[in-house]
Structure 1
Amino acid sequence: MPADFSAGARLELRITPSDVGKRVSVRQLAEVTDGRPTFTDTVGVLASWDEGVVYITRRSGETVRIPESALVAGKVVPPAPVRRATAVPDVTDGEMEEIASRAWPATETARLGGWTLRFAGGFTRRANSVLVGGDPGLPPDEALAEVVRWYGERGAPPCLQVPDSSPYAAHAAARGWTREADTLIRTAPLAPLTLLPEGTADPVTLSRTPDDDWLAAYHRTGDLAEAALRVVTGGPSVWFATMPGAIGRAVVDGPWALFGAVEVIPSHRRRGLATAVMGALARRAAQEGATAAYLQVEADNAGARSLYDRLGFTDHHGYHYRRPAA
């Protein structure tokens, strides 16, 4: 990456933890060889600054970890120009599932060949199911037995998240694993979403962590608040949107931006709050270099699908869950 500090300029550290969420350029000491220091530069969004460690998310989606003691210079820089790409990257169903899984990370994972076993204390089906990918490295019956054993050790019911196109869907069905919660992953170019009107006098507030208002509006935590907080704050570059009557969440991962947890309280519906939240999150994601949007919606949620149709989302693929028969 080209240096963002001109040669001979005075090096000053002009960023603090209060700049989290802003785009910054930093220089760090890489090593000292024969008494001569060498430096590296990083430009990206300051994702966090905790316990003496700085994390910066580059436009590629890579997160760089830098010890605070290694910083020799840093400054806030203007947001990256918004790229107006209209094409959504061409990815397979499996690749799309891996991207989505990073945006809703379980608190514990294990690999079983091409499958990922996920557990998050019971908070959401997605974070407590096996992401069925390629070959599990075992015959299918043995793989299913290992899934049952692994979740049994954690006192949790076994569950599979299976792309509709996966050959393992038919195998699980033949073994009596019942199908539930058909879901669609839908994608769209991000640029049109950045142009969504605010449509309300109340501003949308963006933050790196969910505040009390956001958590109060997010009604799915139940008795699992601690596990929920760990999941919803996980991901490469996470943003929370809050405004009176509505909330939302976005996760930026390279060219992709996930939109989720878009909630509008019943008394505030049909006021354009959902699109205001999505527009604010889209503009932030575009500043970080994202060019494509995606979301997950249950196949039978006609209202949400209609909204997303109007916003330009189209189906990428479907997936569903399977559980062993009782």
Structure 2
Amino acid sequence: MTPAQILYQTGDATWPAAEFLTIGNWTIRRGAGGGQRVSSATANGPVTSEDINVAEQAMGALGQNHLFMIREGDDALDAQLEAKGYRIKDPVNLYICPIETLTKIAPERLAAFPIWPPLAIINEIWAEQGIDAGRQAVMARAKGPKTAILARQNDRAAGVAYLAIHNSMAMLHALEVVPDQRRQGVAVNIMGVAAIWAQDNGATAFSVICVRDNVGANTLYTSLNMENVGHYHYRIKDPKRA
């Protein structure tokens, strides 16, 4: 598998849908309010226009938007969806590095620490930053090694993240820094502590998924010598107006 394909699998395992349904040549995800990544359809091979209709019906039966994730090798599907009036939404970059790249970071003692289940303050910060109960439920149902990270700065909770491991690949999600604590090294401290925890729990590589428009986060990951190894984006059709 390519690095991107490995990260697609890691994303599904560490940020799992409530249910994965195989319908025809599709994987249909039931999101249960966990956001678009866990509510999208992906193709398991070449598909036709009729296959797209099948996926649309399956997503509609779940009460979900018609939302397709377009991955490496899905160029033909991408073109078909564009012809059907689907627009691109949220292009995403995939980053990876050897675990040792990040374990070199040396946060001050207790600048950040791992803990599971998350403390109430961690859930509160996530909620304040838009990571609501539905998305927090995604983390709760993930299998395998996982942890939350809480960072402190200026004698207060300053940032949070969630980290899980699948097949020796760690993936960080839901990294959020409290607005008035930004640009003070909080995110870097989180990355360093997360990498140490991941290595201690069997990971040999570290990865993140980042929306391309999030300039600050992309800058952070590239500054830490993480490599952009791929991408995906969504295709969604806006509801017809009466």
Tell me if structure 2 keeps the 8 A contact 1:163–1:169: no
Q: In 2, Cα distance between the equivalents of 1:182 and 1:255?
A: 26
Paired residue type of 1:111: T
Give yes or no for the alignment of 1:216 onto 2:124: yes
Tell me if structure 2 keeps the 8 A contact 1:260–1:295: yes
User: In the alignment, which of 261, 279, 283 is matched to residue 192 of structure 2?
Assistant: 279
Deviation at 1:92, TM superposition (A): 5.0
Q: In 1, Cα distance between the equivalents of 2:113 and 2:9?
A: 29
Q: In 1, Cα distance between the equivalents of 2:181 and 2:113?
A: 17
TM-score (ref. length: structure 1)? 0.66
Give yes or no for the alignment of 1:179 onto 2:88: yes
Stretches of structure 1 lacking an aligned partner (at least 5 in a row): 1-89
User: In the alignment, which of 149, 167, 172 is matched to residue 259 of structure 1?
Assistant: 172
Flag the 1:316–1:203 CA change in 2: closer, same or farther, 3 A. same
Identity across aligned pairs (percent)?
23
User: In the alignment, which of 131, 135, 138 is matched to residue 228 of structure 1?
Assistant: 135
Please list every run of at least 4 consecutive aligned residues from structure 1 whose deviation after the TM superposition is greater than 6 angstroms: none
Paired residue type of 2:61: E
Deviation at 1:209, TM superposition (A): 1.6
Q: How many residues align?
A: 230
Q: In 2, Cα distance between the equivalents of 1:241 and 1:96?
A: 21
Give yes or no for the alignment of 1:318 onto 2:236: no
Counterparts of 1:152-191 in structure 2, within 5 Å, are 152-166=60-74, 167-191=76-100
Deviation at 1:196, TM superposition (A): 0.8
Flag the 1:285–1:163 CA change in 2: closer, same or farther, 3 A. same
Deviation at 1:134, TM superposition (A): 2.5
Q: In 1, Cα distance between the equivalents of 2:3 and 2:183?
A: 35
Whichever structure has more helix as a proportion of its residues is 2
Give yes or no for the alignment of 1:240 onto 2:153: no
Stretches of structure 2 lacking an aligned partner (at least 5 in a row): 152-156
Q: In 1, Cα distance between the equivalents of 2:135 and 2:196?
A: 26
Tell me if structure 1 keeps the 8 A contact 2:98–2:205: yes
TM-superposition CA deviations, 1:95-114 (whole Å, max 9, x none): 43122111110112201355
Structure ID, larger Rg: 1
The structure with higher relative contact order (CA 8 Å, sep 6+) is 2
**Matched residue, 2:218:** 305
Flag the 1:125–1:251 CA change in 2: closer, same or farther, 3 A. same
Q: In 2, Cα distance between the equivalents of 1:164 and 1:325?
A: 24
Tell me if structure 1 keeps the 8 A contact 2:34–2:137: no
Deviation at 1:261, TM superposition (A): 1.2
Q: In 2, Cα distance between the equivalents of 1:209 and 1:114?
A: 37
Tell me if structure 2 keeps the 8 A contact 1:158–1:324: yes
Q: In 2, Cα distance between the equivalents of 1:197 and 1:230?
A: 31
Tell me if structure 2 keeps the 8 A contact 1:94–1:133: no
Deviation at 1:298, TM superposition (A): 1.0
Tell me if structure 1 keeps the 8 A contact 2:172–2:208: yes
Flag the 1:258–1:92 CA change in 2: closer, same or farther, 3 A. closer
